[in-house]
């Protein structure tokens, strides 16, 4: 005689989040490059911009190597914008799954936010390995603070993405406004065009 195994609500919630996490991996990386492309794409973009910026300022930006300046800035900006975009679409993306009473919208948000965080961790590790092989001298005065900054950006982006996802359920047109608002972030973030290179009297009339 078959027996029914009862599970607690917390265990069911954990299994649902893990299932959505695996579903996200399969849906995003079903081509030949697979998961590797999620790491190769941002790393190659950072290397390209670092090369361009290095040619402009001689290899050093604000007292540190241009490569590390660009890596630090680009990772955080890509993390922020990417998280907001993916989390904002997470509720609508998994809408068919809500037919099952065990699946809740918050489970989709947590799974996708966790997936994006792990992807960015792999990007950072890949860049660290490249620096090791290229024998680039690195120095980090406060690594714990750097880790905390990445976690804070993740929490802020997840929160903004969740607010945007909930708002777009009632007003779908907000998705277009969100995409429009994300575009100038790269230019106003100070990564490529920092305030230090601006004229001193820029705010003087």
Least confident range of 40-49, 75-84, 158-167: 40-49
Q: Residues with Cβ < 8 Å from 111, sequence gap 6 or more?
A: 17, 18, 20, 21, 24, 90
pLDDT band, very low/low/confident/very high, at 58 (cuts 50, 70, 90) = low
Q: Residues with Cβ < 8 Å from 77, sequence gap 6 or more?
A: 185, 186, 189, 191
The SS3 assignment for 196 reads helix
Task: Write down the residue that tokens 């911009």 correspond to.
Answer: 49
Strands 64-65 and 60-61: antiparallel
- Give the tens place of pLDDT for each residue, 91-143: 888 888 878 788 888 888 888 888 888 888 887 888 778 777 877 777 777 77
* 5-14: Cβ within 8 A, 24+ apart: 12/102, 13/104, 13/107
Q: Distance between CA 195 and CA 202 in Å, rounded?
A: 10
Residue 14 has pLDDT above 80, yes or no: yes
- Give the tens place of pLDDT for each residue, 143-199: 788 888 888 989 998 998 888 888 888 887 787 888 788 777 777 776 766 656 555
pLDDT band, very low/low/confident/very high, at 204 (cuts 50, 70, 90) = very low
Mean pLDDT, residues 62-80 taken together: 77
**Would you state the structure tokens that stand for residue 106, as one six-digit string?**
């918050």
Least confident range of 51-65, 71-85, 97-111, 143-157: 51-65
Q: Distance between CA 64 and CA 62 in Å, rounded?
A: 6
DSSP alpha helix (H) spans, the chain: 9-28, 36-57, 66-88, 90-93, 105-133, 143-170, 174-182, 185-188
Taking residue 200's Cβ as centre, other Cβ atoms within 10 Å add up to 6
Q: What is the pTM of this model?
A: 0.77
Q: Given this model, what pLDDT does residue 69 score?
A: 76
Residue 81 has pLDDT above 80, yes or no: yes
């Amino acid at each position: 005689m078959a027996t029914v195994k009862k599970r607690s609500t917390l265990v069911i919630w954990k299994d649902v989040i893990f299932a959505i996490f695996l579903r996200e991996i399969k849906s995003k990386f079903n081509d030949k490059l697979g998961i590797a492309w999620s790491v190769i794409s941002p790393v190659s973009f950072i290397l390209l911009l670092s090369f361009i910026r290095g040619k402009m300022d001689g290899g050093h930006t604000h007292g540190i190597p241009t490569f590390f300046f660009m890596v630090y800035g680009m990772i955080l900006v890509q993390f922020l914008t990417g998280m907001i975009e993916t989390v904002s679409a997470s509720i609508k993306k998994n809408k068919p799954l809500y037919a099952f009473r065990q699946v809740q919208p918050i489970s989709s948000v947590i799974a996708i936010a966790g997936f994006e965080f792990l992807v960015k961790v792999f990007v950072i590790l890949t860049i660290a390995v490249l620096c090791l092989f290229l024998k680039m001298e690195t120095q980090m005065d406060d690594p714990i603070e750097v880790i905390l900054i990445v976690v804070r950006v993740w929490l802020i982006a997840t929160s903004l993405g969740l607010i945007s996802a909930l708002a777009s359920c009632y007003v779908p047109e907000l998705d277009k406004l969100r995409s429009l608002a994300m575009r100038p972030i790269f230019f106003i973030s100070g990564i490529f065009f920092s305030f230090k290179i601006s004229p001193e009297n820029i705010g003087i009339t």
